[in-house]
Amino acid sequence: MRLPRSSRPAGRTMADTPTRIGVVGADPTGRGFGPRAHIPGVLATPGLELFAVCTAHEETARAAAERWGAKRWYANFEAMCSDPDVDMVTVSVRVRLHRPVVEAALASGKTVYCEWPLGLDSDEAGAMAGRASERGIANGVGTQGRFSPAVRLVKERLACGDIGRPLTFAATQQLSRFAVDEDRGWLARQEEASGALHVAAGHVTDTVRYLLGDVAEIAGLRTIEAPEGRYADTGGSFTWTAPDVVAYVCRLVDGTPGAAHITNLATPSAGFTLRIFGDEGSLTVAAPGYISFARARVSLGAPDGRMRELEIPESYRQGIDLPDEHPGLNLGLALQALVSVAASGERFRPDFADAHSLHRVIEGIARSSDEGTWQRLTA
């Protein structure tokens, strides 16, 4: 899809002056995905400038600007989004706040990149996708596992026919439960689009969709096996309402069958693994954590059972000076690509429309678990 020229963002390209980024969600204490990935990703990526930061309070916004060297700080996201010197807005706050920030950015004509989940449900995601399309504004969603150099290599090897025709796949993501502080208790709540269903299963499924195609039908299970929890900072007790185990079988639009198992209860963690089996061999991509932000390895399996690890070309890193395991690497690669798209008018992937369809897959898993039936997903 090409954006209308009259509606293309006027932001700078990496060929001339840097694209000036405003980050919403820049906790100066380092908590959250903004300071862990967005800010270091922007700082390390050629062609990007950390121009502005935004938090909910003046003192923390000022502290964030001082810590990371941003020229401007804001305690009001509408004000930052309307700043004519900000070219692109990235959004890394709790999911419940995504929609108002995204809509403020779109209203100001800003290219916008928002973390996954895009919204609390598919209705919210669809509304944001529709608004971005109406305005003709380049946009992206944070399933940045697509930009992992390892995942890109698998995509290339599939296209080259290294394993012939893909026949089936098996995906697992088995991680330990993450710590929750009392002031961030929303991380444990289903209604906040958190946990193994909305977050973990979303990232795993998007990687499958990028490599093999969209999901046509699905049968799944979501459950809470360890509801008792304690806050990491205060020791107070709480109850998890976000699922901690998700499993599904599905059939992709081309008929390929596969299965996934995702949990936040693995002890010890076993990480992420996706194996794609073809009629002439197999490809495996594995990482110790989320594929979206972890060092990953790729192996090619021959029909005789021999496995060979593939070297990941340095060029896939696009000059970003961060180690492979840093969460800012894939984020920087995604933003770099979004800048290029905003200048050319081509469609960035994954965008809000991709996020909307991914939300529908997640909701299909939930409905299947509740009803005990297969769910057919239409375009």
Residues 122, 359: Cα–Cα separation, whole Å: 5
Task: Show the domains of the chain with their CATH numbers.
Answer: 5-145+331-348 (3.40.50.720), 148-302+358-376 (3.30.360.10)
Q: Quote the distance between the C-alpha of residue 199 and its chain's center.
A: 9
pLDDT on residue 16: 67
Supply the DSSP symbol for 205: H
Bridge partners of 171? Answer: 260, 274
pLDDT on residue 379: 57
Bridge partners of 140? Answer: 113
Is the distance from CB of 113 to CB of 147 less than 8 angstroms?
no
pTM listed for this prediction: 0.94
Closest of 75, 317, 274, 36 to residue 174, by C-alpha:
274
* One-letter amino acid for residue 29 of the chain: T
Is the distance from CB of 260 to CB of 172 less than 8 angstroms?
yes
CB-CB neighbours of 350 under 10 Å: 24
Residues 258, 98: Cα–Cα separation, whole Å: 32
* Residue range 21-76, pLDDT digits in tens: 999 999 999 999 999 999 999 999 999 999 999 999 999 999 999 999 999 999 99
Query: Can you give the pLDDT of all 379 residues of the chain as single tens digits?
Result: 334 332 334 444 445 689 999 999 999 999 999 999 999 999 999 999 999 999 999 999 999 999 999 999 999 999 999 999 999 999 999 999 999 999 999 999 999 999 999 999 999 999 999 999 999 999 999 999 999 999 999 999 999 999 999 999 999 999 999 999 999 999 999 999 999 999 999 999 999 999 999 999 999 999 999 999 999 999 999 999 999 999 999 999 999 999 999 999 999 999 999 999 999 999 999 999 999 888 999 999 999 889 999 999 999 999 999 998 899 999 999 999 999 999 898 999 999 999 999 999 999 999 999 999 999 997 5
pLDDT on residue 2: 39
286 CB-near residues (< 8 Å, 6+ apart): 271, 272, 273, 274, 296, 297, 299
Bridge partners of 255? Answer: none
Closest of 68, 27, 33 to residue 50, by C-alpha:
68
pLDDT on residue 3: 42
